[in-house]
């Protein structure tokens, strides 16, 4: 009987060692011997584990990486851990496995041990197991740099640049000078930005503007200094129906690329869609100045400026009839708007320089009334748009409007106008004739006691009533 056969005939029965023959029948003993013989043969024929290092990108970084032994290990276990880590770094995987695997079974919640075991799996070509162990380590210790590095390398090895970039950003936050950050930060940033940008453009081609806008925002997270990217994002937001967000992105594009006419144009369109006509006009004016040869852009600017003037006049003009004190710019608007047909038919055109009207909401009407000789500028070429109008100035304006816009009516009115006496305005006064004409035609009412009150400031309702009465005296 061989030694192996004798070994099989021993068994434990109770507290003492006895022969198998005392515990089993002959047939049972034969079956047991057969089964154990097969088991021994299988054991001797089983393939041995392979410890050939699997190629891992940037393993040289791991070779220089420190991973201190966890403090809760015993002194001998810390020695074992340090030895295992050095073996792993040097590529002696069989030695590393013999030390790390028992520690991993004993200290399942240790982030350092899990990290070492994960690097071993990664080096053995088992990235799925490595990722799971890196995740477990980071759950226990989120700021463990070695685990973050390995977590990044797993994603990098898989070829998933989006995932690798997200993990690299996490590593960069805690370790901005890390070798892996230096090696891959710029490259991955560009690649991920291009991939997100390509996805955004594809959504644009598919007319899926909401999704395109979301993809552009993701691309901007990666490349926040790319002015052209903000411009494309603004276009997507505008097409998606979010002009407020489009304006924000377009304005950022103009800040990053101030000489980009398209950025200013996009800002203008976004402002226009936001009903900010003044902002739209300013942005389009900047775009037109950068690209003066673009006639289409110039036409768009002129259309927006017309809309702005119409909107502004509608708001400002409505306030004239409620004004307690009438200004010169209000008088110009009142005269031109209410007597537009007469102004348009008039052939009187005087080239007069007014240096202070460009910022006035009524600049166009000031220039038209001055050009027609109805209102005048002062000797120093100022118009003083916000200066208040007194009764004598209004009378002069009414008289010149009738004379220059409807000369036949003016002649007839002068012939029928009676003599007027004013207690506070002499006949020798240069404004007497205009005052007398205004009162005789019923354009202005005389003051108390026969006074004209030439220096009293005119109210909006008073001026509106006078201009309306003047219009009735003009022949078509």
Q: What does the pLDDT look like over 112-124, one tens digit per residue?
A: 999 999 999 999 9
- pLDDT in the model for residue 19: 42
Using one digit for the tens of pLDDT, what is the confidence trace for 183-203?
A: 998 888 888 888 888 888 888
Q: Is 396 a residue whose pLDDT tops 80?
A: yes
Q: Per-residue pLDDT averaged across 361-386, rounded? A: 92
* Domain limits, the chain: 3-45, 59-176, 190-309, 321-473
What confidence category does residue 9 fall into, taking pLDDT thresholds of 50, 70 and 90?
A: very low
Largest Cα separation within the chain, whole Å, is: 158
Q: Is 321 a residue whose pLDDT tops 70?
A: yes
Q: Is 22 a residue whose pLDDT tops 70?
A: no
| Residue pair 468/338 in contact by the 8 Å Cβ criterion | yes
pTM for this structure? 0.49
Q: Which stretch, 16-20, 207-211, 386-390, 440-444, has highest mean pLDDT?
A: 386-390
Distance of CA 464 to the CA centre of its chain: 48
What confidence category does residue 28 fall into, taking pLDDT thresholds of 50, 70 and 90?
A: low
Q: How far is CA 472 from CA 331, 388, 417, in A?
A: 18, 26, 16
Question: How confident is the prediction for the chain on average, in pLDDT?
Answer: 85
- pLDDT in the model for residue 259: 92
Q: Per-residue pLDDT averaged across 81-106, rounded? A: 93
Task: Compute the distance between CA of residue 41 and CA of residue 148 in angstroms, rounded to an integer.
Answer: 45
- pLDDT in the model for residue 411: 83
Identical fold, 59-176 and 190-309 = yes
- pLDDT in the model for residue 15: 41
What confidence category does residue 400 fall into, taking pLDDT thresholds of 50, 70 and 90?
A: very high
Using one digit for the tens of pLDDT, what is the confidence trace for 266-295?
A: 999 999 998 888 889 889 999 999 999 999
Is 38 buried (19+), middle (13-18) or exposed (0-12) by CB count in 10 A?
A: exposed
Radius of gyration of the chain (CA): 46
- pLDDT in the model for residue 454: 93
- pLDDT in the model for residue 29: 58
CATH assignment, 59-176: 1.25.40.10
Q: Is 73 a residue whose pLDDT tops 70?
A: yes
Q: Per-residue pLDDT averaged across 152-158, rounded? A: 91
Q: Is 44 a residue whose pLDDT tops 50?
A: no
Q: Per-residue pLDDT averaged across 236-264, rounded? A: 89
Q: Is 140 a residue whose pLDDT tops 90?
A: yes
Contacts with 264 (C-beta within 8 Å, 6 or more apart), sequence order = 254, 283, 284, 286, 287, 290
CATH topology assigned to domain 190-309: 1.25.40
Is 339 buried (19+), middle (13-18) or exposed (0-12) by CB count in 10 A?
A: buried
What confidence category does residue 310 fall into, taking pLDDT thresholds of 50, 70 and 90?
A: confident
Tell me the CA end-to-end span of the chain in Å, nearest whole number: 141
- pLDDT in the model for residue 39: 52
- pLDDT in the model for residue 197: 80
Q: Greater confidence, 346 or 422?
A: 422
Contacts with 333 (C-beta within 8 Å, 6 or more apart), sequence order = 313, 316, 317, 320, 362, 365
Q: Per-residue pLDDT averaged across 379-401, rounded? A: 95
- pLDDT in the model for residue 112: 95
């Amino acid at each position: 009987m061989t030694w192996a056969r004798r070994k099989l005939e021993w068994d434990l029965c109770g507290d003492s060692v006895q022969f198998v023959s005392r515990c089993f029948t002959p047939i049972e003993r034969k079956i047991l011997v057969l089964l154990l013989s097969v088991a021994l043969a299988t054991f001797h024929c089983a393939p041995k584990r392979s410890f050939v290092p699997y190629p891992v990108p940037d393993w040289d970084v791991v070779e220089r990486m420190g991973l201190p032994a966890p403090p809760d290990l015993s002194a001998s276990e810390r020695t074992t851990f340090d030895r295992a880590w050095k073996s792993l770094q040097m590529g002696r995987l069989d030695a590393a496995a013999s030390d790390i695997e028992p520690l991993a079974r004993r200290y399942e919640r240790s982030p350092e041990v899990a990290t070492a075991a994960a690097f071993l799996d990664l080096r053995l070509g088992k990235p799925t197991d490595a990722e799971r162990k890196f995740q477990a380590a980071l759950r226990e210790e989120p700021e463990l740099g070695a685990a973050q590095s390995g977590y990044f390398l797993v994603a990098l090895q898989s070829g998933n640049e989006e995932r690798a970039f997200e993990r690299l950003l996490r590593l960069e936050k805690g370790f901005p000078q890390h070798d892996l950050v230096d090696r891959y930060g710029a490259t991955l940033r560009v690649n991920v930005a291009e991939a997100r940008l390509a996805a955004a453009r594809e959504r644009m081609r598919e007319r899926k503007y909401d999704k395109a806008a979301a993809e552009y925002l993701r691309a901007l997270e990666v490349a926040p200094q790319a002015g052209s990217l903000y411009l494309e994002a603004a276009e997507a937001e505008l097409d998606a129906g979010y002009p407020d967000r489009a304006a924000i992105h377009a304005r950022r594009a103009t800040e990053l690329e101030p000489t980009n006419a398209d950025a200013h144009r996009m800002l203008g369109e976004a402002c226009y869609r936001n009903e900010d006509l003044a902002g739209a006009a300013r942005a389009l004016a900047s775009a037109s100045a950068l690209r003066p040869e673009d006639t289409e852009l110039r036409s768009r600017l002129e259309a927006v400026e017309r809309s702005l003037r119409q909107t502004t006049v509608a708001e400002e003009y409505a306030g004239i009839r409620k004004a307690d004190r009438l200004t010169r710019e209000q008088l110009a608007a009142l005269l031109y708007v209410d007597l537009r047909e007469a102004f348009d038919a008039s052939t009187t055109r005087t080239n007069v320089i007014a240096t202070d009207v460009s910022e006035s909401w009524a600049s166009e009407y000031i220039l038209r009334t001055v050009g027609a000789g109805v209102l005048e500028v002062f000797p120093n070429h100022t118009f003083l748009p916000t200066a208040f109008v007194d009764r004598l100035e209004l009378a002069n304006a009414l008289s010149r409007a009738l004379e220059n816009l409807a000369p036949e009516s003016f002649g007839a009115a002068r012939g029928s106008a009676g003599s007027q006496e004013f207690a506070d305005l002499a006949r020798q006064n240069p404004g007497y004739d205009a005052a007398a004409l205004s009162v005789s035609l019923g354009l202005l009412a005389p003051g108390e006691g026969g006074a004209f009150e030439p220096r009293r400031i005119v109210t909006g309702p008073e001026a509106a009533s006078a201009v309306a009465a003047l219009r009735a005296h003009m022949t078509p």
